């Protein structure tokens, strides 16, 4: 299986993707980590973003071949990025699941301010920029509302996985 956990910075993708990976006993691959492995000093240009997502999908192919499943954690704000992941799953002959994590701006602001030692470089200004650019999801997907407690979020993950 190939699972994409997408959403805006600060919405809780990492929390949800960790839970999904745990439930599937699958490795988790994060764009934040891949970016730092692929680029020495990222400028977050469109070309760099293309490189990061291409590297992420290459790693996903290797991981699914080796482990049988992978969970991808990234913004995936453009439909073409999500479609490339769908196509990767189809090439590998595995099911594809798309999970969007949503959260109110007030909660995101609190969570971003509280981040410590996280791989993400995104601050609230980046969150707002991505909100403006995030393309609507097409096709089958699940939405996890991450505004509530951790237990409420985990109950939603449990219902799907």
The model's pLDDT over 36-52, given as tens digits with 9 standing for 90+, comes to 899 988 888 899 999 99
pLDDT higher than 70, residue 136: yes
Mean residue pLDDT across the chain: 90
Tally of CB atoms within 10 A around 84 = 16
- CA distances (Å), origin 23, targets 19, 112, 138, 156: 6, 26, 25, 12
Q: Where does the pLDDT of residue 74 fall: very low under 50, low under 70, confident under 90, or very high at 90 and above?
A: very high
Q: Domains in the chain, start-ordered, CATH in brackets?
A: 2-160 (3.40.50.300)
Q: Where does the pLDDT of residue 118 fall: very low under 50, low under 70, confident under 90, or very high at 90 and above?
A: low
Spatial CA neighbour of 16 closest among 155, 154, 160, 149 = 154
pLDDT higher than 90, residue 78: yes
pLDDT higher than 60, residue 117: no
Give the mean pLDDT of 9-20: 92
Could you give the 3-state DSSP secondary structure of residue 150? helix
The separation between the first and the last C-alpha atoms of the chain, rounded to the nearest angstrom, is: 12
The answer to whether 7 and 102 are in contact (CB under 8 A) is yes
pLDDT higher than 60, residue 10: yes
């Amino acid at each position: 299986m190939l699972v994409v956990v997408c959403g805006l910075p600060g919405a809780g993708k990492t929390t949800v993707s960790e839970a999904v990976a745990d439930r599937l006993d699958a490795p988790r691959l994060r764009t934040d980590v891949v970016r730092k492995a692929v680029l020495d000093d990222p400028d977050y240009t469109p070309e760099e973003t293309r490189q990061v997502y291409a590297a992420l999908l290459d790693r996903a192919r290797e991981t699914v071949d080796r482990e049988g499943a992978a969970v991808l954690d990234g913004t995936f704000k453009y439909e073409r990025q999500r479609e490339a992941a769908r196509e990767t799953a189809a090439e590998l002959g595995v099911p594809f699941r798309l999970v969007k994590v949503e959260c109110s701006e007030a909660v995101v602001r609190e969570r971003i301010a509280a981040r410590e030692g996280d791989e993400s470089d995104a601050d609230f200004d980046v969150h707002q920029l991505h909100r403006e650019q995030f393309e609507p999801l097409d096709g089958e997907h699940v939405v996890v509302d991450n505004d509530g407690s951790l237990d409420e979020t985990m109950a939603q993950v449990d219902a799907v996985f």
